[in-house]
Amino acid sequence: MEFIKSRMEVFLSFPVNDELVSEINYCCSSITFEDSEEFLFRKGDSPMGFYWILEGSVSFELKPDLQSIISAGSFVGMDNFASGQSHNFDIKTLGENVITLFIDRRCYNNVFLKRHDLSGFMLQKHLNQLIEIKNSLSSDAVA
Amino acid sequence: MGNDHSVEVPNHCSMCGNRHLSAFKNLGDEDLDQLSEMKTCVSFKKGQVIMHEGARPQGVYCLHSGKVKLYKLGAEGKEQIIRFMTKGDLLGYRSLLSEETISGSVSAIDDTYACYIPKSSFFQVIQKNPKFTLNILEKACHELGEMGKIITSLAQKTVRERLAEILLILRATFGETEEGNLDISLTREEIANMVGTATESAIRLISELKEDSLIETKGRKIKILDATRLRKIANVFD
């Protein structure tokens, strides 16, 4: 729990209290991907939840030679989760020991959606991620 | 993961009193040393989610104590409880072996202690130990058989039959306390979620079984009074 709190304090611009950390720890599952190139999602996976990257980076495999890199603090798979569509890209770890929290529908509704500051942060992170992907695709198109 | 814990669970797997119940029962000293070195003991509070449907597990949990439920969430967020698990049971191994996402969420229904074994260690033991692989295969086959029973039961049995069957399953899985009650505390909603019906229907049917002197209840405590008749109602013959 201390680790989750310390990471949240790095990412969030508002105070992180123990109650919130405890709620998140209670309803999310912590998953550490020890190896590089481990799949968080494979193309076609059902969108039952999404990951919050607490430490390390992951890559969206947009095309065989085109990746978009997402770093710690971001939420991965949220767009598919929100739209209910299966994952359209492989998403893999970049490097070892990527530490994540997995958030499902119940946890999202009961904790994340009820906190305006937290859901605002998620939205901001998600928009940044979409811009990153868009930039990767447009630079590939120019090249 | 839950909270780190190092008191309730023995540090070395060879000292574990539940090893004979688990898939690790036939492992030799060397494998047990390796597992003991790599495992992390974790505690989960009642209600805490241990594994989520849709996630990719990076290891397995071996339950040391406590009870957990495996369930799937419907579109409306309603739970369908698939089964319960207790000490010695292994969580997440099937998804790990098949490289699929987890097919159902697991949460603690009691305070639970479990040992987390990372997938690298798990696979090393599998590669080195054919007996262990066979144990895992046996477990997977048994679970497949149980799933078949559940599908048939949900498709063909009435709610009353299902309820009777589930009470018998709970007794077989968790046993009874000294007072003769089922050694598991479930809400009426959880019982309904296992039967696959509305909570109101489960409450009504529990009352009917009480009126017929098949069971006795006091709050969440349930005592089976007449297992033979309950078995007949459930259409269970084995």
Please report the ipTM that was assigned to this predicted complex: 0.83
Place of tokens 């939205």: A123
Residue A107: its chain B contacts at CB < 8 A?
A: 49
Q: Are strands B68-73 and B105-108 parallel, antiparallel or unpaired?
A: antiparallel
Tokens of B49: 């989610």
pLDDT of A113 above 50: yes
pLDDT of A141 above 80: no
For residue A114, count other CB atoms closer than 10 A to its CB: 11
Helix (H, G, I), strand (E, B) or coil at B110: coil
Question: What ranges in chain A are assigned the alpha helix state H?
Answer: 2-11, 18-27, 78-83, 105-107, 116-142
- Average pLDDT score over residue span A45-63: 93
So what's the pLDDT on residue A72?
93
Task: Report CB contact under 8 Å: B52, A104.
Answer: yes
- Average pLDDT score over residue span A122-130: 88
Task: Report CB contact under 8 Å: B49, A1.
Answer: no
Task: Report CB contact under 8 Å: B120, A34.
Answer: yes
Task: Report CB contact under 8 Å: A48, B54.
Answer: yes
* Domains of chain B as residue ranges with CATH: 13-136 (2.60.120.10), 154-234 (1.10.10.10)
So what's the pLDDT on residue A139?
78
So what's the pLDDT on residue B237?
67
Of residues A135 and B204, more confidence is placed in: B204
Provide the angle, in degrees to the nearest 10, between the axes of the packed helices B188-195 and B159-174: 110
So what's the pLDDT on residue B5?
45
CA distance B173 to B167: 10
So what's the pLDDT on residue B7?
44
Is the sign of the CA dihedral B33, B39, B40, B44 positive or negative?
Answer: negative
CA distance B118 to B137: 19
- Average pLDDT score over residue span A102-123: 90
CA distance B16 to A50: 35
- Average pLDDT score over residue span A133-138: 82
Q: Which residue of A has its CA nearest to B72?
A: A48
Give the DSSP letter string of B156-179.
HS-HHHHHHHHHHHHHHHH-B-TT
Q: Which residue of A has its CA nearest to B60?
A: A31
CA distance B84 to B80: 12
Q: What are the tens digits of pLDDT across the range A70-106?
A: 899 999 999 899 899 999 889 999 999 999 999 998 8
Tokens of B181: 């009650």
pLDDT tens track, chain B, 238 positions: 554 444 467 778 878 888 888 888 878 888 888 888 888 999 999 999 999 999 999 999 999 999 999 999 887 778 888 889 988 999 999 999 999 999 999 999 989 999 999 999 999 988 888 888 888 898 889 888 888 888 888 888 899 999 999 999 999 888 999 999 999 989 999 999 989 899 999 999 999 999 999 999 998 999 999 999 999 999 876 5
Q: Does A33 touch chain B (CB under 8 A)?
A: yes
- C-beta of residue A27 within 8 angstroms of C-beta of residue A107: yes
